[in-house]
Amino acid sequence: MTDVARVGPLPPHARTARQRELLEPVLGPAAANLFSTVVRNEELFEAWLPFCMKLLRRSALPRRERELVILRTAGRRRVPYELAHHERIGARAGLTAAEIAAARDGGDAGFAERELTLLRAVDELLDADRFTAGTWSGLRAHYDTAQLVELPMLVGHYALLAMLLNGLEVPLDEKEDA
């Protein structure tokens, strides 16, 4: 990553009234670099934000498992920005430092069968855009239909964020309290 973003976060003094209005519900004037970059395209931001917040704040998956999915995706896609945020969020969701490292780095030590199935599912989606029959069978044994629909959307969303954050070289937030 370079020292300068390709498309950087919009600083507070440069935001239009509409951009300030869009960012206020998210994080106020200290909006994270992700949000203050995407808000440069107001219509896209307005359409994307509810989906993003649904996955992050009202997920059908338990918090711990949602964070395992995000950490595995961010680790596989090498996204320092998301890892910086979700290593802390994962710890608040009950993941140990060893579990965070294993999820991020592709390990599977210490996880329950349900979590191993979930991590394998993430790997399969990132590798082939589909689940194997064995993984699907394991997922069906542990998750309801709403969770099964959400899982590939969660992985896909964080893969999309990897492209956005890495492609535009969005810098890490100075204060990372996501």
Question: Does the structure show a pLDDT above 70 at 178?
Answer: no
Question: Does the structure show a pLDDT above 70 at 74?
Answer: yes
Question: pTM of the predicted model, to two decimals?
Answer: 0.92
Question: Does the structure show a pLDDT above 60 at 54?
Answer: yes
Across residues 115-127, what is the average pLDDT?
98
Helix axes 97-105, 80-92, angle to 10 degrees: 140
CATH topology of domain 60-168: AhpD-like (1.20.1290)
Across residues 69-91, what is the average pLDDT?
97
- Higher pLDDT residue, 25 or 55? 55
Tokens, residue 44: 């896209």
- Higher pLDDT residue, 153 or 28? 153
CB-based burial, 130-160: b 16+ in 10 Å, e otherwise: ebeeebeebbeeebeeebbebbbebbebbbe
Residue 114: pLDDT band (50, 70, 90) is: very high
For the chain, percent of residues with pLDDT exceeding 90: 82
Pick the range with the lowest mean pLDDT from 22-31, 55-64, 83-92, 155-164. Answer: 22-31
Number of other residues whose CB lies within 10 A of the CB of residue 109: 9
Across residues 162-168, what is the average pLDDT?
97
Residue 108: pLDDT band (50, 70, 90) is: confident
**What per-residue confidence (pLDDT) applies to 109?**
76
Mean pLDDT over each residue of the chain, to the nearest integer? 93
**What per-residue confidence (pLDDT) applies to 28?**
56
DSSP codes joined into one string, 54-115: HHHHS-SS-HHHHHHHHHHHHHHTT-HHHHHHHHHHHHHTT--HHHHHHHHHT--TT--HHH
**What per-residue confidence (pLDDT) applies to 175?**
64
- Residue spans of the domains in the chain: they are 12-57, 60-168
Digit-coded pLDDT (tens) for 23-33: 988 875 556 89
